[in-house]
Every structure is written in C-alpha cells, then in structure tokens.
Amino acid sequence: MDAGAENLNAIAAWAVSLMETLGGVGAGVAIAAENLFPPLPSEIILPLAGFAAAQGTLGLIEVLIWTTIGSVVGALALYGVGAWLGRRRMYAIAQRMPLIKVEDVERTEAWFDRHGSKAVFFGRMIPIFRSLISIPAGIERMPLMRFTLLTLAGSAIWNTIFVLAGFYLGANWHIVEEYAGIFQKVVIAVVVIAVVAWIVLRIRQVRRNRAADESVAVD
C-alpha cells in the first residue's frame, strides 16, 4: 500500500471513529478541524459522512446540518485569527518580507473591499482557499454577520455536493476523492505558477530600480 492510500485510510478511520462516537456532531467536528488544518481533506470526510448516511448510521439531513455548522465554526476561528492579527501587524509583517511592498498590501486591501463578499462565498468551494480566505476577512474586519452568512451559504453548497456524492456512490465513496484531488492539484499548480510569475516580475523590477539609482548616482 502506498503512502497516499495509507493516509487516506488513516483519515477515513479517524473520521469514522468520530462519527461512531459523536454521531452527526462528530462529522461537524471533523469538518471544523479540516478548516483549521487544511491537510485534512473535506473531499474524504464529506463523502464518507454521506456513505454513513446511506448505511443508516447517520441521518442525511443531520450530516448536512452538522458539517455545515462545523465549516462555519472553523471559519469563524480563522476569522478571529485574522482579526487578532489586524492591519497594523499585517503591515509590519509586510515591511519585513523581501519583495513585498506596502503598495502590494494596499492594493490587496482595495481588492478585498471591492470583491470580499464574492471571495468569501466562492472561496468556500476552492480547496486550500476554503480555510485561508477567512484570515483576510478577519484582518479587514468584514462585518461578522455578512461573513457568517456568506460562509454558511458557500459551505452548504460545497458540503451538500460531496455528502450527496458519498450518499449515492455508497461503498464507492472514495471515487469522489480521486476527482477532487485532481481539482486540488490544478488549483495548486495555478497558484504556484502565479506566485513564481509574480516573484520573477518583482525581482526584475527591483533590478531595474537599482540600475536606475546607480545610473543617477554616477551622473
């Protein structure tokens, strides 16, 4: 058995243990943990919860409700981290980071002001960003009620899709994880390419600015 299969089995066993012990609440706890620790994949936990509902171990509506509650609780915890971090600490961190300019942070803030609601809603349906999007929302102090409702709506859609997939696939619930894994790899690849492109452009800009300063100094 390869490492990936072993990890899948370990996560599945942990989630099953929670659900057997706590019922629907256990599914909610697992999803809350997934929000706080993104390496725990909801793409495994949610279909598995759906499969448990298909077996009659849990109620389908119970699973949908508790997993969505878990998503909201986990997101609120990360929102709290962002709120604690705040704009002042964010700017202080940015000033110490190489290649980062205060203007970058200001542009990010302006972007979030314009598109924050859409980012929170749709971000709940994108691997990795499902968790991370809560932090800038907290930093920018998005109104808590709006953040909660957007998170609730986005999470309910995502959770319902994966829970129902597990419910109808039955013992083949793990197939969902395979396709979701492909989607996650595509997202990661796009992010990595974007980050590398940004770093290259920033290094070139720094070099141009340095060359211009040296030219002025020589003159």
Tens digits of per-residue pLDDT, 39-88? 667 777 888 888 888 888 888 899 899 999 999 999 999 898 888 888 77
CA–CA gap between residue 177 and residue 61 (Å, rounded): 22
Helices (H), the chain: 3-22, 24-36, 42-54, 60-96, 102-123, 129-132, 134-139, 144-169, 174-218
> Does residue 100 belong to any structural domain of this protein?
yes
> Does residue 181 belong to any structural domain of this protein?
no
> Does residue 190 belong to any structural domain of this protein?
no
> Does residue 184 belong to any structural domain of this protein?
no
- The angle subtended at Cα 10 by Cα 128 and Cα 59, nearest 5°, is 80
pTM for the whole thing? 0.72
> Does residue 31 belong to any structural domain of this protein?
yes
- Other residues' Cβ atoms within 10 Å of the Cβ of residue 160: 17
Contact partners, residue 136, CB within 8 Å, separation at least 6 = 82, 108, 112, 116, 119
The pLDDT value recorded for residue 1 is 39
Question: What one-character DSSP code corresponds to residue 208?
Answer: H
> Does residue 187 belong to any structural domain of this protein?
no
Which residue did the predictor score with more confidence, 142 or 102?
142
For residue 199, pLDDT over 90 is answered with no
Quote the number of domains for the chain.
Answer: 1
CB 140 within 8 A of CB 116: yes
Structural domain of 113 = 3-176
Give the orientation angle of helix 60-96 with respect to helix 42-54, to 10 degrees. Answer: 170
Question: What one-character DSSP code corresponds to residue 55?
Answer: T
pLDDT band at 2; cut points 50, 70, 90: very low
Average pLDDT for 102-128: 77
Kindly tell me the burial class for residue 145, based on how many C-beta atoms sit within 10 Å of its own C-beta (0-12, 13-18, 19 or more): exposed
CA–CA gap between residue 166 and residue 164 (Å, rounded): 5
The pLDDT value recorded for residue 168 is 85
> Does residue 202 belong to any structural domain of this protein?
no
**Segment 131-181, tens digit of pLDDT:** 778 888 888 888 999 999 999 999 999 899 888 888 888 767 666 666 556
- Mean model confidence pLDDT for the chain: 76
The pLDDT value recorded for residue 3 is 45
> Does residue 213 belong to any structural domain of this protein?
no
Identify the CA nearest to 137 among candidates 77, 190, 193.
Answer: 77
